[in-house]
Amino acid sequence: MTPPYKISNKTLLLISSISKSIGEIEGRLLKTPEPKLRKQNKIKTIQATLEIEGNTLSLDQVTAVLEGKRVFGPEKEILEVKNANELYNQIESLSFYNYTDLLSAHLVLMRDLVSSAGSFRSKNVGVLKGSKVSHIAPKPNFVPELVQNLLNWAKSTDLHDLVKSCVVHYELEFIHPFEDGNGRIGRFWQSLMLYSYNSLFRYIPVESLIKENQKSYYKVLELCEKAEESTLFIEFMLKIIDECLIEYVSQFTSVIMTSVERLQYFKEYFKEKVFTRKNYLNFYLFNLSFNASFAFSTALKSRPNSSTASFIILGAVITRAIIC
């Protein structure tokens, strides 16, 4: 069954903006940041997603925990940091549409924190806002089927991956499949889906910006509950992702590359011996295809006598290249 949502004009504009930022990041070779920045962004992610749920450890304390240093703080909160770190380290090995992986992720995240870690809840639950119940989750006997249907839909739908990740995040919060840790697992699962869409998202601390907009985050969830569909949440999360990417780009200075370096980077990314000019242009997303064609041509011509490279040129257009 397809979850209820609409694709608004705002959603389309945000997808376009996000795609533009991704193109700039890939075109400037910013996809894999330096180790120091990777570490900082990972710490921001972990500290933020836990603070949203009430963890009081600061960035410095979380850093110390992950470095194996002694930290004075609640034992439960220190364990939450260790568990979250372990889970985010496993992101490459998980599939967002795998039912068992979701349970395994919850087990890692909530190990020794709740007795039901790795299992769906067996009781009715609701979400409180002050002294009032703002959301009553589906009955526990419906949870396994609801989750399975959601993940099956995520696997089979041709909906844009960015939008799909927002829908799944919202639906997991709506289903509230676990006794505890639903917010953390929902945010992580969207991060997993974003990583599956483009690996650069492993280094983007989306959760950090959610924390900065925590009140709006919960407000939008509440509004979607009343509207019985997730359009507003999709728009909210895409805006968060868009702002995260803009901030990510601002952390770097431009990278100047030679034509040969640019082609080599493409070859390593594409992982194919045969590729077309169109593949190359689409990868770098240049607005002026002449620039890409010129770089491509220059790179190949720089070693015309080499037995390890050959190219076919029709007029001024490179149509096919083989790099061995």
On the question of pLDDT at 36 being above 90, the answer is: no
- Tell me the pLDDT band of 126, cut-offs 50, 70 and 90: confident
**CATH 1.10.10, the chain: domain bounds:** 259-323
pLDDT at 105: 98
| Whole-angstrom distance, CA of residue 178 vs CA of residue 165 | 19
Q: Global pTM?
A: 0.78
Q: In what order do the strands lie in the sheet with 274-275?
A: 274-275, 317-323, 309-314
CB-based contact 162:198 (threshold 8 Å): no
CB-based contact 136:114 (threshold 8 Å): no
pLDDT at 153: 97
Of 88-92, 153-157, 298-302, the range with the lowest mean pLDDT is 298-302
Cα–Cα–Cα angle for 250, 92, 272, rounded to 5 degrees = 80
| Whole-angstrom distance, CA of residue 134 vs CA of residue 4 | 19
- Pinpoint the alpha helices (H) of the chain: 9-27, 35-51, 59-66, 75-89, 99-110, 143-156, 161-175, 182-197, 206-212, 214-227, 231-250, 259-270, 277-284, 289-301
| Whole-angstrom distance, CA of residue 141 vs CA of residue 249 | 45
Of 23-27, 199-203, 317-321, the range with the lowest mean pLDDT is 317-321
Percent pLDDT > 90 in the chain is 64
CB-based contact 54:76 (threshold 8 Å): no
Percent pLDDT > 70 in the chain is 74
| Whole-angstrom distance, CA of residue 191 vs CA of residue 205 | 9
- Tell me the pLDDT band of 25, cut-offs 50, 70 and 90: confident
**CATH 1.10.3290.10, the chain: domain bounds:** 9-250
The domain 9-250 having CATH identifier 1.10.3720.10: the answer here is no
The domain 259-323 having CATH identifier 3.40.630: the answer here is no
**Could you read off the pLDDT of 213-246 as tens digits, one per residue?**
999 999 999 999 999 999 999 999 999 999 999 9
On the question of pLDDT at 256 being above 70, the answer is: no
Mean pLDDT for all residues in the chain: 84
Kindly state the average pLDDT of the residues 289-300: 47
Kindly state the average pLDDT of the residues 87-108: 97
